Structure 1
């Protein structure tokens, strides 16, 4: 699986299978040492994995973050050495395995661009890394457990039930357009499984003039914020029946909405679990109140309650 493959490339600084441009230029004085993807810097291993614009896009979308290691990205060996020390933290080994997959995808993306002239979107790289990591984890679990058809079915059922509840964040979203029709107030209530409120967001945007398009834009913004907070299991709740139907079908009712739906689907694929549910407006009283309030402010406001 991917983590095993990656460890063969951990010592990038020595002699990677396909060296970075800087390494080739230093040894042969031929070609250009600059990155062919962004053109903004010398293509070293550290540039490919951390500093290139394409790499930074991937890390922003990644479900695991290592903000405390930013000052180590100038040397991959030092960064990796500091990273493996996180094994003792909760979920550390799993986070390191996922990180290895992300690095592996970044390296493959660079090679695809360099030798095949193929560019892959950042969210696709993250999705590929996450999928391979989850497959690896599942394979490890199955290997440890004794399997029979009956126990496998029971374990899978129990696992699915646990996945739905564990760490699930319900995100209720409501919007309200101003009287003149130019301003859009977005209200968001984030509830943890069990009903405990974790966050309230009051967001201000420009209205498109179409309700369903405004609602879709609100969902897209909320997904981006959920990614920034590293939430992994979410449920989007909205009172617009038509929008929920479009999101579940992956289609739009016009080109603008279709583009938004496509963006939402791409973002949804980055989560371990992301679903969409319709709920009547009367069951979203707090959320409706917040979106009305959002029309009276000029800047976004956020409130968090406890550790999300």
Structure 2
């Protein structure tokens, strides 16, 4: 289903034809999102590869949002508007990041490794608290995502609407995949993903799903995780998940996704 939404439906095909970045060399991989994404991230070493991947992640996000507007409100944007919105948002984040002091990846990785060895918190770590809620009737699912810098300051939250698979663990995994696509476009590099589903977190840590559906979702999530400088997974206590759980319940009452960015990271 995800491949149809992101690549094969009429709207997706229009959007990709208009997109400023093209991936013709991996077009044959679009039948499997995991294979396509794995091929995509290999382009990081090419000139402006990371920027092209970030823009692509934003296009994927806008396609997903466009699909929700069509399904839940009956609206469909012109393909050019989807591309323009994705490009404009990407350019805004790129411009916001140009003035920040840069250090080499090796320096950052070495500093983070020292901090972990010393039992210290990793600097600039963004925690993503993710929860889902299924409607009592129909196939609507609400997703709540809260982003906290170093586990304390709330940087952003998202209220997302999607379609439930009717299986809790698959819903949680799909929400996690969607959240990682979203935060990739923001340029955050160190991510801790927190979810209350112990079984899902165990599968992600082992790198293995336990059935055909979860195998695909786990592979997709881990492929996305590889795009970040650091990305790991942790079981969240219910007492610490109350905000994202409340947001996921609220999501059932809306039609279009909502997002709030409180401060720049």
TM-score, normalising length: structure 1: 0.53
Compared CA separation, residues 160 and 199, structure 1 to 2 (3 A):
farther
Residue 165 of structure 1 deviates from its aligned partner by 2.4
Compared CA separation, residues 192 and 161, structure 1 to 2 (3 A):
farther
Compared CA separation, residues 162 and 232, structure 1 to 2 (3 A):
farther
Residue 61 of structure 2 corresponds to residue 61 of structure 1? no
Match of 2:255 in 1: 298
Q: 2:246 aligns with which of 252, 276, 289?
A: 289
CA contact (8 A) 1:251 1:258 kept: yes
Greater C-alpha Rg? 1
Aligned Cα RMSD in Å?
3.2
| 3-state DSSP of counterpart to 2:200 | helix
Relative CO higher for 1 or 2, CA cutoff 8 Å, sep ≥ 6?
Answer: 2
Q: Distance in 1 between matches of 2:177 and 2:219?
A: 10
Compared CA separation, residues 274 and 183, structure 1 to 2 (3 A):
same
Match of 2:184 in 1: 227
Match of 2:100 in 1: 90
CA contact (8 A) 2:192 2:233 kept: yes
Residue 300 of structure 1 deviates from its aligned partner by 0.5
Match of 1:200 in 2: 157
Q: Distance in 2 between matches of 1:161 and 1:281?
A: 28
Q: Distance in 2 between matches of 1:159 and 1:289?
A: 32
CA contact (8 A) 1:60 1:228 kept: no
CA contact (8 A) 2:126 2:151 kept: no
| 3-state DSSP of counterpart to 1:165 | coil
Compared CA separation, residues 307 and 163, structure 1 to 2 (3 A):
farther
| Structure 2: segments with no counterpart, 5+ residues | 1-16, 27-39, 44-50, 58-97
Q: Distance in 2 between matches of 1:281 and 1:92?
A: 37
TM-score, normalising length: structure 2: 0.61
Misfit runs of 4+, over 6 Å: none
Q: Distance in 1 between matches of 2:217 and 2:112?
A: 37
| 3-state DSSP of counterpart to 2:100 | coil
Q: Distance in 1 between matches of 2:112 and 2:231?
A: 22
Corresponding residue pairs, total: 183
